[in-house]
């Protein structure tokens, strides 16, 4: 495993639409391992493949609930409620902004074995799934931050 360079805001790769994963290859498996390592090294709760320069529909998320998730071709199929709170992104280090997201989501995806899974999420996990899935369509949270971004110490 290895950490990879995290692409920063302004890099055009972050604005591209990612392609679905059709099969689990060795390269993709290594990519997922590296994404977890990169996310943990940067103290993030989520990372999407375009953030390490790979235009594939893969995200990794670990909100500290003991259940790290690798979601392949994730799709949000249901959302309900609303939460507004601070959000940040490893591609925009040192910044946060207020973003409104659904309180509950249901996400369908494939796991590393390419089996269909359904994740029901609320709160922080719901926010992370929305944020990371947006990355796969070239959307950054700053596009949705109601009062712009501000610096954190
Ligand atoms: Zn992000």
pLDDT (tens digit, 9 = 90+) per residue, 26-51?
999 999 999 999 999 999 999 999 99
**Tokens coding 125:** 């996990």
Whole-model pTM?
A: 0.97
What is the 100 CA–ligand 1 centroid distance (Å)? Answer: 15
Residue with tokens 């609303």, as numbered in its chain? 82
Q: What is the pLDDT of residues 15-26, one digit of tens each?
A: 999 999 999 999
Would you please indicate which residues are annotated as catalytic (active-site) residues?
132
Query: What structural domains and CATH numbers belong to the chain?
Result: 12-151 (3.90.45.10)
Of the candidates 24, 122, 33, the one whose C-alpha atom is nearest the C-alpha of residue 72 is 24
List, for residues 70-92, the tens digit of each pLDDT value. Answer: 999 999 999 999 999 999 999 99
- CA–centroid distance, 82 to ligand 1, in Å, is 19
Q: What is the spatial distance between Cα 78 and Cα 117, in angstroms, rounded to a whole number?
A: 14
- Cα of 9 from ligand 1 centre, angstroms: 10
Distance of CA 47 from the midpoint of ligand 1 (Å):
6
């Amino acid at each position: 495993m290895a950490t990879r360079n995290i692409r920063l805001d302004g890099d055009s790769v972050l604005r591209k639409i990612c392609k679905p994963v059709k099969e689990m290859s060795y390269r993709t498996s290594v990519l997922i391992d590296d994404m977890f390592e990169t996310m943990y090294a940067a103290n993030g709760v989520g990372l999407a493949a375009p953030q390490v320069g790979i235009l594939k529909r893969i995200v990794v998320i670990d909100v500290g609930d003991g259940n790290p998730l690798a979601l392949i071709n994730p799709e949000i199929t249901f959302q309900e409620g609303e939460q507004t709170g601070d959000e940040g992104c490893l591609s925009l280090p040192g910044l946060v902004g207020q973003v409104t997201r659904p309180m509950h989501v249901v996400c369908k995806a494939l796991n590393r074995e390419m089996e269909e899974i359904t994740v029901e999420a609320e709160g922080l996990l719901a926010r992370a799934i929305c944020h990371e899935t947006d990355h796969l369509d070239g959307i950054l949270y700053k596009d949705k931050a109601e009062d712009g971004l501000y610096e954190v110490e």
